[in-house]
Chains A and B, each alone.
Chain A
């Protein structure tokens, strides 16, 4: 049940009506209802994995209480429970997502050095959303252990946090403290929050259906048949891919956040116009914020402390390791590891020059536009990101190498699918104009006449719907991040 489908609309209407018309302000009842809805939603996507999700939730709920009970009097025991939680969370990921990858990699390695092995792979069904809910589980036990929060005493609240239906399949990865804090109070209908939520849902749908799904038609045609396309077409598809990824994933995040807002729950932000970044560090501060924030807190910072004797180089090692993990989080393949390493290495000059530690403010000319040198930096950052995504998009290192080689050497005519490209590029321009406006002119309003001001919100949402009807791909493509 994808968020931009009729099924979801019906499901959500039922959830919404019961939530506000029957249970308004009743925290416990609302949370039970959200939990039931979340498990129904998850079961609709993958009913076989409900026992796993429930078991993991029960175990981590217990661990959280055990850690909390021992935090003061028995630190050693609390640490032991925390370690157990982290190992269990990583173990889940390792088993379901990486086991076959490691078996295959070891087997390939031994075969390559002449030691013939015949290890067979396991037939493992990967639970949908596992990368997202295991990270929530792990962050919960760590936060309790760090005494940043009290353990959650309500199983329903905790289970709702883990399985919350707008975010379980594709994030954002909410932190436990702010989320559980919201669940502890009864929610009444919030007009302003709901209005913003509604607008964000339709904007997310526009991003997904008009930009991502449209560009994916071109991208799939070229990358799916890379061997028969020349470097120009592959290069062009490479430049479109980051935009497709952004529209797909940020589009989903917008919808998830919007649905959360309609239910009176604020979900963590996940994107902040990443293509207006002047360097790769700024880019990662604006791209998949909930993942990078998670890894910064639980991987980079501890590593950075461990490597502090090595000073700057310690931080560099910490960041490279963190980025390899970011890459591998996306999938069990060497292409993802290399993708992470590539991004980690891009940090080296920034860390050596000190630019990493500076926060870039939005620089504007008098007319409110970005200065030329800033635009050049943005373009350069975009090109670096695009190049890295060749690794991300390719199914093997050999394929990535072939694509890169073709881009560098094999020139020819551009493969053009006018219908797809014109529709996709036009919607892409609309998306960029909105992002540009939000980045540089957040306080300006276009068409500020009386009637438009009066109905600006309604006209904007209706405008999104009309664009979706005319330009959108309405046959329900999957979201790229569902597979992670």
Chain B
């Protein structure tokens, strides 16, 4: 038994050494990769310094064109949105990491039902991409704990980059999806309307844990004296529903402007501006950014 336990101990030591050694290489590759997600996560966490920041999921990532908006606002704008149903768990951790380095003047949060409803397809797993940023901020660590990733990531440095192999290699061999326009990524193509497009429905109950972190996001901005604005950009197909009740009531309760364009004349139902039913294409994004910029101008003063 003693011999066996010694063997197990040697395995643990080799594993720990290999884990640390490989993670040094992987970490270096992670910092230099040009794949969209990893590049943007790094850029936002370590380099972004614009006074106005847009945050949110894919609809933020593809809808707000910084070059268009900053022309109107006359101040630096960065689009920190990321695709992949990144809900409030991710956004809160991400915000805390940003605030660990600098404090933007304004944050525009593109809200989505995944931020406050118990949607089965967007839960705490979205925090997964923040594992490389463990110990950057207490808020991020809190979200990693909520997602059950914190202690695993503390134990293994390599685990922080789990499943990243393809992105790290591809993003270091060639320049991929480089976010040239300060985080904005355009979508090219036009919505296929050959089949009927129905409004996206969200028949899910309110998720109190998500609402808690939406409020925590608001509180964090208040604490740092950051002006927070809620946004909701247009959909191609809409219906009368109550999907915006929660952000609406939170905005009122906390005195936050809420600019909702869920049903925006000229956009809703106009396939020329859409890539798919929920995302604007490049033309639509530029046009919409001009509209939203002029509205934001009422709230954002230099």
Chain A residues close to B by CB (< 8 Å): 20, 189, 191, 194-195, 198, 418-419, 421-423, 426, 455, 457-459, 461-463, 465-466, 469-475
Contacts and interface: CB of A to CB of B under 8 A. Distances in A.
B224 interface: no
A382 to B, nearest CB: 25
A469 B162 contact: yes
B5 to A, nearest CB: 10
Given A455-B10, A469-B19, A418 B158 contact: no
A194 B4 contact: yes
Interface in B1-31: 1, 3-4, 7-8, 10-11, 14-15, 18-19, 22, 26
B294 interface: no
Given A455-B14, A458-B11, A423 B3 contact: no
A474 B159 contact: yes
Contact of B158 (A421, A466, A475): A466
B166 A423 contact: yes
Contact of B14 (A422, A462, A470): A462
Given A458-B7, A470-B161, A418 B14 contact: no
A459 to B, nearest CB: 6
A470 B7 contact: no
A419 B14 CA distance: 28
6 contacts: A194-B4, A198-B8, A422-B166, A461-B11, A462-B14, A466-B15
A195 B7 contact: yes
A189 B165 CA distance: 40
Contacts of B14: 455, 458-459, 462
A318 B19 CA distance: 54
Interface string B168-193: 01100000000000000000000000
A189 B1 contact: yes
Nearest to A462: B14
Please list the 5 inter-chain residue pairs (A to B) with the smallest Cβ-Cβ separation, ordered nearest first: A422-B166, A462-B14, A462-B15, A458-B10, A469-B158
B156 interface: yes
Nearest to B156: A469
Contacts of A473: 163
B18 A422 contact: no
Contacts of B1: 20, 189, 191
Given A422-B166, A458-B11, A466-B22, A474 B152 contact: yes
Given A419-B163, A458-B11, 4 more contacts: A198-B7, A462-B15, A469-B156, A470-B161
A466 B18 contact: yes
Q: Which of B4, B11, B156, B159 has the most CB of A within 10 A?
A: B11
B122 interface: no
B167 interface: yes
Question: Do most interface residues of chain A lie in helix, strand or loop, or is the interface mixed?
Answer: helix
Contacts of B161: 470
A419 B4 contact: no
B130 to A, nearest CB: 15
Contacts of A471: 162-163, 165
Contacts of B162: 469-472, 474
A143 B158 CA distance: 51
B265 to A, nearest CB: 32
B125 interface: yes
Nearest to A24: B1
A191 B3 contact: yes
A48 B232 CA distance: 48
Q: Which of A423, A463, A465 has the most CB of B within 10 A?
A: A465
A332 to B, nearest CB: 27
A198 B7 CA distance: 10
Q: Which of A421, A423, A463, A470 has the most CB of B within 10 A?
A: A470
Contacts of A418: 166, 170
B19 A423 contact: no
Contacts of B170: 418, 422
A473 B159 CA distance: 10
A173 B168 CA distance: 43
B168 to A, nearest CB: 10
A423 B163 contact: yes
Contacts of A422: 165-166, 169-170
Nearest to A214: B163
Contacts of A423: 163, 165-166
B7 A457 contact: yes
A189 B7 contact: no
A470 B19 CA distance: 9
Contacts of B167: 419
B165 A426 contact: yes
A466 B163 CA distance: 12
A470 to B, nearest CB: 5
